[in-house]
Amino acid sequence: MLTNKRLSFFVLIALLFAFAVSPATAATVYDWNVTSATINGSGTLTLGDEVATGVFKINDVTGTFSDTANDINGVVTDPFLSNGGTQTSPDGLYFFDNIAYTTPGLTFSNSGGLLFLVNGGASFANGAEVNIAGNGVGGYQLWESMIASPYLPGSGSGYAVEFSASAPEPGTLLMFGGGIALVGLSKCRRNARKQ
């Protein structure tokens, strides 16, 4: 049987746990999805350090990607960490910054964007280097390079794609900790009534 002091301690620990993993300190993970007539990709983006208000470095990219028109299909591999500035892609064709803007929703700049490899990159069968960036007017463009063609679609113009991202419920652990605290408090009240 727990005493009131022990229950109070248990409730305090539960609340501290809830606030320790609250959205203020936890990494923000977005589900992402990109589509066009022949392109499908989905997975998760994990945001890291905030470099300015609402501007975050991308720490990780996971998922799958395919382009049936160009025989690209596989797992997203080797996401490139942001250093906070514009970088040149490994094949030298694209600029990227792997910076995400979270206001009003998750977006990328039109001078940088998100870069990741599919199946190890452009040097491998069914692999590619993929860059997704804003098009400057509220939409997105996607570029690919692959072993059969060093630059797709060419002519400096990317594929128009729809990009969407949705954040998971960041308060889930906070609600879980709060629930534990409420159970503990109700036990304290029951024990106080019994005495």
Lowest average pLDDT, out of 51-60, 83-92, 186-195, goes to 186-195
> How many C-beta neighbours within 10 Å does residue 36 have?
15
Task: Flag whether the pTM goes above 0.85.
Answer: no
Q: Which residues contact 187 (CB under 8 A, 6 or more apart)?
A: 2, 7
Q: Which residues pair with 138 in a beta bridge?
A: none
- Taking only the tens place, the pLDDT of each residue in 142-171 is 999 887 777 676 556 788 999 999 876 555
Q: How far is CA 180 from CA 4, 10, 86, 174, 188, in A?
A: 15, 9, 45, 10, 13
State how far the Cα of 168 lies from the Cα of 170, in Å rounded to an integer: 6
At residue 190, does pLDDT exceed 50? yes
Cα of 24 vs its chain's centroid, Å: 16
